[in-house]
Amino acid sequence: MSATRPLPLDLGAGQRSARARHRMLVWVFCCLAITVLLAFGSLIVGTSSIETSLGWLLKPDAESSVVLWQIRLPRTLGAWLAGALLGLGGGIAQGVFRNPLAEPYLLGTASGAALGVTITLIAADASFEGLAWAARLGVTGAACIGAAAATLLTVSLSRGVLQTRSLLLSGVVVAFLLGSITQLLVLSRPEIWRTMQSFIFGSTGFLSWSSTELLGVAFCVSVVPAVLLARGLDALTLGEDTAQSLGLSLPLLRLTLLGIVSLASATAVGQIGVVGFVGLIAPHIVRETLSVNHRQLLIGAPLCGGALLQAADLLSRWVIRPSELPVGAVTACLGGSYLIFLLWRRSRRG
């Protein structure tokens, strides 16, 4: 105000924002480097009886190259994509609900998608394994409908979108309810019980090239509009009224973004089953390591989510090798502890 005050000027193109951009680049590079390392690990570690090593990876024989190309590579890529979709879904959900605990799993979105998948499979009398491209697309579509319906149910149960605790509570209630319905449906069909059980726990073992392609398409379709709409989420942090006064249409913005959350998490659930907490942790890691606006968050959260799910996948295959754990159990252990830590920290801060 007083013109006499010395002013350190520079907006936009200044040194500090250049430093911020540099930081973001370094962060993205680190994330990608970790991803590549995990990918190598994921290609080497597996349940097959073949002795595997880095040398084997570089010079595979005929049998190994089938394992490598038809099983491990789609699984590695698909796990990254599914994690990226869940991370993106979590990042958007936390912004839309202005609630750091919102994520597809805790909102019931993932359970809705799982119920959609189960109903379709039972109606079509099919098994989750070895679905053809078209069938997989149909199952994913049903997952999307289930996810969107579950999200709407959670939001209407919590009466609005802003009460942190009530949103979390109704999300958990919806997840529990839909999860039980899924279990009941599965129990009525003993022949698919085994497959569906690992689907409900989440497993990367289902991933094939067709599901990986589907994940890739869904990732491109959801990440681009999400990053374009990120500015709306920034505006929303200033309060709903202010966002509206800036010229935003809140209902349209929310609907579009929740549509993207449903699409992203449903596609992930449709390929690997219910894997929770990746969507919760990934945006948090981004925020803890990088001070960000929503555009950077929605770029960072998928990168982080992808690496997280890869790490969890690797862990699930390595801990009790040569057997494997369901990856959803690993993320639930890691994510559940992280959620407890978050709640503890919040209650300490008051």
Q: Give the range of 9-17, 119-127, 161-169, 177-185 binding other proteins by CB under 8 A.
A: 9-17
CA–CA distance, 258 with 278 (Å, rounded to integer)? 17
Nearer to other proteins, 153 or 229 (CB): 229
Residue 161 engages other proteins in binding (rule: CB under 8 A)? no
Contacts of 259 (CB under 8 A, 6+ apart): 148
Q: Is residue 292 a contact point for other proteins (CB under 8 A)?
A: yes
Among 234, 254, 318, 334, binds other proteins (CB under 8 A): 234
> Is residue 58 near other proteins by the rule CB under 8 A?
no
Instruction: Work out whether 295 is an interface residue with other proteins (CB under 8 A).
Output: yes
CB 293 within 8 A of CB 69: no
Chain centre to alpha carbon of residue 114: 14
C-alpha R_g of the chain? 21
- 232 sits near other proteins (criterion: CB under 8 A): yes
Q: How far is CA 18 from CA 7, 11, 279, in A?
A: 19, 11, 29
How many residues in total does the chain contain? 350
Smallest gap from residue 217 Cβ to other proteins (A): 23
- Residue 125: which region, alpha, beta or left (left: phi > 0; alpha: psi -120 to 50)? left
Give the Cα separation of 295 and 299 in Å (integer).
Answer: 6
Contact 338, 277 (CB under 8 A): yes
Which one, 232 or 302, has the nearer CB to other proteins?
232
**Binding segment toward other proteins, per CB under 8 A, in 7-15, 28-36, 118-126, 333-341:** 7-15
Q: How far apart are CA 246 and CA 237, in angstroms?
A: 12
Rounded to a whole number of angstroms, the minimum distance from the CB of residue 248 to other proteins is 7
- The residue among 229 and 263 lying less far from other proteins, judged by its C-beta, is 229
CB closer to other proteins out of 207 and 226: 226
> Which position among 4, 11, 49, 288 is part of the footprint of other proteins (CB under 8 A)?
11
The piece of 32-40, 198-206, 213-221, 224-232 that touches other proteins (CB under 8 A) is: 224-232
Q: Which of residues 260-289 bind other proteins (CB under 8 A)?
A: 287
Using CB under 8 A, which residues numbered 313 to 342 contact other proteins? none
Of residues 240-259, which lie at the interface with other proteins (CB under 8 A)? 241-242, 244-249
264: closest CA among 301, 296, 236, 289? 301
Q: Tell me whether residue 326 is exposed, middle or buried, using C-beta atoms within 10 angstroms of its C-beta: 0 to 12, 13 to 18, 19 or more.
A: buried
**Which residue among 220, 237, 319, 344 contacts other proteins (CB under 8 A)?**
237
- Residue closer to other proteins (CB basis): 8 or 190: 8
Contact assessment for residue 80 and residue 35, using Cβ atoms and an 8 Å cutoff: yes
Our finding on whether 293 is near other proteins (CB under 8 A) is yes
Beta strands (DSSP E) in 56-212 are none
Burial class (CB in 10 A: 0-12, 13-18, 19+), 337: exposed
Q: Is residue 18 involved in binding other proteins (CB under 8 A)?
A: no
Cβ closest to other proteins, residue 1 vs residue 134: 1
In the complex with other proteins, which residue's Cβ is closer, 144 or 257?
Answer: 257
Which residues have CB under 8 Å from 229's CB, separation 6+? Answer: 253, 256, 257
124 counts as binding other proteins under rule CB under 8 A: no
Residue 12 binding other proteins, by CB under 8 A: yes
Positions touching other proteins (CB under 8 A) are 1-2, 5, 7-12, 14, 16-17, 20, 228-229, 231-232, 234-235, 237-239, 241-242, 244-249, 287, 291-293, 295
